Amino acid sequence: MAVPPPPPPLSARLRQLCDDLIDHLVPGPAMAMAEQIRAKLAAPLTITVAGGVSSGKSTLVNALLGQRIAAVDAGECTRVVSEFRYGTHERVEVVGVDGGVTTLPLNRGRMPDHLGMPVERVRHVVVHLSNALLNHISVVDTPGLNTVTEVNEEATANFLGVSGREGEQTADAVSKADALVFLLPLLRQADAAVLRGFAKLFGDSSLSAANAIAVLSKVDRLAKGEDPLAAAAPIADRIAGELRGVVSAVLPVVGLLAESAEAAVFTEADARALAAVAAVDDPLDREDMLLTADDFLTFDLLDLDEPARRRLLSLLDLYGLRVAVAAADQGAHTASDFLRVFGEASGFRALRDVIVRRFAGQSEAFKAHAALNDLRRASYLRNDPDNVRALRALRSPLEKLEFDPAFVRLRLLEVAQAVSRGDLRLPDELMGDVLALADAGDPRSVVGSSAFAGRDAAAAGAARWSAWGNDSRRSPNESRMARMVKEAFESMWLEFERGAR
């Protein structure tokens, strides 16, 4: 008997839907939107790094890419959205607000200092790099939010597709972030406004706890004298509690050390300079030397010229210098010895793991979910009268797709999204289910691996959601969401049943 071919992956089916739609459209905003949705499905997962001004976004992007390419500190490039994409022919494309594109070369492997047009006229910049990571994902660096200049804020919000300007559902509003890494400024106290603003950012995008994490950045500035990752852990936990349902994790990171460890900037000459710093071996002298940046630059007993001192400070800052000196005491000697230590002390591995393994690993589901969202929004587009019929005709095949069993994972993402926006309030236990299910690449891992335990846990999950969803106090929307999760548990139960036979 012939084995039926496996169903095409989710994104292929959505691409087909886009193609069919485009066939029935006349040129206009709807067609532009459909083409953009289709193009996005074919492109690698876009991971966007956003957050406050000078929160360390570009530094972290460089650590992720393993090269110091994103502009750090001042300069034109920090004021525009920069997308890093794979390309063998390395170049920078400056896309103007008028749609025109100018191509510039990289400046010795770095971003050019000038973009060739006033920053106000730049919509965004696309940097093509032959960088292996970009085979799987694109990384977007954004200008700081809550900024001095509202223009930046709007540029970033528009790019994320979260501007919230209702009614203007043109191609531009198609959300572009498939996953979000949001850098939070250092918060000793809960800053309710920042946190609320953060959740609001999600707006129309398809972001949820499944594909968004927060980073507590520059934590070395937080702790004086202790391990900043340990000092930041309780703060990160508290913020994670406050952002429960909005992001899946809050990770403390020393981005500067991560960049120095990853981005091929630290040399053997830097290692030798560190040996000179460690040669100051009296504990009190050391303490004086590393008290402030000025102390380090002017400390008499240190046999190192000023440019070398400035360079070490810019690579490591004071905490990094303390880590380096301690490592040298333990025998670290070569650049690679130090880099290993910086990598450890940066806390970056956990973050990279989420981005590269979890986000990129769920690329298919995230993209399909974003496309479903965008298509659903397109089906309600009102500013294109010539295409209204074709758009309305999209709703029925969309609905069919949504209830296809292959889309269980996407429906869970939908529930996670409703939770993150505050549209769905759940009792604790059910909230735990949603977060665990949204977090797991394979939902079955949530109910356990042994068939027996798994089957029982899946049955209990289905019963829990059924009871909640059928309560007469539920709104129609709550019941609909409850049904989605119940069905997810039921399909897991069924798989365990089949496996047990």
Ligand X SMILES: Nc1nc2c(ncn2[C@@H]2O[C@H](COP(=O)(O)OP(=O)(O)OP(=O)(O)O)[C@@H](O)[C@H]2O)c(=O)[nH]1
433 burial via Cβ count (<10 Å: 0-12, 13-18, 19+): buried
Evaluate the CA torsion angle 463, 464, 465, 468 in order and state its sign. Answer: positive
Q: Does 53 bind ligand X (CB under 6 A)?
A: yes
- Contact residues: Mg ion, CB under 5 A: 57-58, 78
Output the smallest distance, CB 437 to ligand X, in A.
32
For the record, the structure tokens of 228 come out as 């900043």
Q: What is d(CA 144, CA 160) in angstroms, rounded to the nearest whole number?
A: 13
Report the b/e string of 83-114 with b at 16+ CB within 10 A.
Answer: bbbbeeeeebbbbbeeeeeeebeeeeeebbee
SS3 333: coil
Output the smallest distance, CB 120 to ligand X, in A.
17
Task: State which of residues 29, 44, 56, 161 lies at the interface with ligand X (CB under 6 A).
Answer: 56
Residue whose CB is nearest to Mg ion in the complex, by number: 58
Q: What is d(CA 312, CA 290) in angstroms, rounded to the nearest whole number?
A: 12
Question: What's the 3-state SS for 158-178?
Answer: HHHCCCCCCCCCCHHHCCCCC
Task: State which of residues 72, 207, 345, 488 lies at the interface with ligand X (CB under 6 A).
Answer: 72
* x-or-dash string of contact with ligand X, 215-244, rule CB under 6 A: --xx-xx-----------------------
Q: Does 486 bind ligand X (CB under 6 A)?
A: no
Output the smallest distance, CB 299 to ligand X, in A.
19
Q: Identify which of residues 217 and 363 has a Cβ nearer to ligand X in the complex.
A: 217
Q: Identify which of residues 62 and 208 has a Cβ nearer to Mg ion in the complex.
A: 62
Q: What is d(CA 373, CA 206) in angstroms, rounded to the nearest whole number?
A: 7
Task: State which of residues 15, 38, 40, 57 lies at the interface with ligand X (CB under 6 A).
Answer: 57
Report the b/e string of 453-486 with b at 16+ CB within 10 A.
Answer: ebbebbbebbebbbebbeeeeeeeebeebbebbb
Q: Does 387 bind ligand X (CB under 6 A)?
A: no
**Region binding ligand X by CB under 6 A among candidate stretches 49-57, 235-243, 417-425, 484-492:** 49-57
Task: State which of residues 36, 48, 59, 420 lies at the interface with ligand X (CB under 6 A).
Answer: 59
Contacts of 441 (CB under 8 A, 6+ apart): 358, 361, 362
Sequence letter at residue 388: V
Select from ligand X, Mg ion, none the partner in contact with residue 67, using the beta carbon and a kind-dependent cut-off of 5 to 8 Å: none
Residue whose CB is nearest to ligand X in the complex, by number: 144
Select from ligand X, Mg ion, none the partner in contact with residue 317, using the beta carbon and a kind-dependent cut-off of 5 to 8 Å: ligand X
Q: What is d(CA 244, CA 426) in angstroms, rounded to the nearest whole number?
A: 12
The gap between the terminal CA atoms of the chain, to the nearest Å, is 22
Q: What is d(CA 227, CA 322) in angstroms, rounded to the nearest whole number?
A: 10
Q: Does 317 bind ligand X (CB under 6 A)?
A: yes
Output the smallest distance, CB 263 to ligand X, in A.
12
362 touches 437 (CB < 8 A): no
For the record, the structure tokens of 357 come out as 């393994």
* x-or-dash string of contact with ligand X, 249-268, rule CB under 6 A: -----xxx------------
- Helix orientation angle between 476-500 and 451-470, rounded to the nearest 10 degrees: 160
Q: Identify which of residues 110 and 425 has a Cβ nearer to ligand X in the complex.
A: 110
Output the smallest distance, CB 203 to ligand X, in A.
21
Output the smallest distance, CB 419 to ligand X, in A.
28
18 touches 38 (CB < 8 A): yes
Q: Does 148 bind ligand X (CB under 6 A)?
A: no
Q: Does 83 bind ligand X (CB under 6 A)?
A: no
* x-or-dash string of contact with ligand X, 106-145, rule CB under 6 A: -------------------------------------xx-
Select from ligand X, Mg ion, none the partner in contact with residue 55, using the beta carbon and a kind-dependent cut-off of 5 to 8 Å: ligand X
Helix and strand numbers (H, E) in the chain are 21, 9
Output the smallest distance, CB 20 to ligand X, in A.
41
**Residues that contact ligand X, how many (by CB under 6 A):** 20
Output the smallest distance, CB 146 to ligand X, in A.
10
Q: Identify which of residues 151 and 494 has a Cβ nearer to ligand X in the complex.
A: 151
Q: Does 347 bind ligand X (CB under 6 A)?
A: no
Output the smallest distance, CB 311 to Mg ion, in A.
21
Binding site for ligand X (CB under 6 A): 53-59, 72-73, 78, 143-144, 217-218, 220-221, 254-256, 317
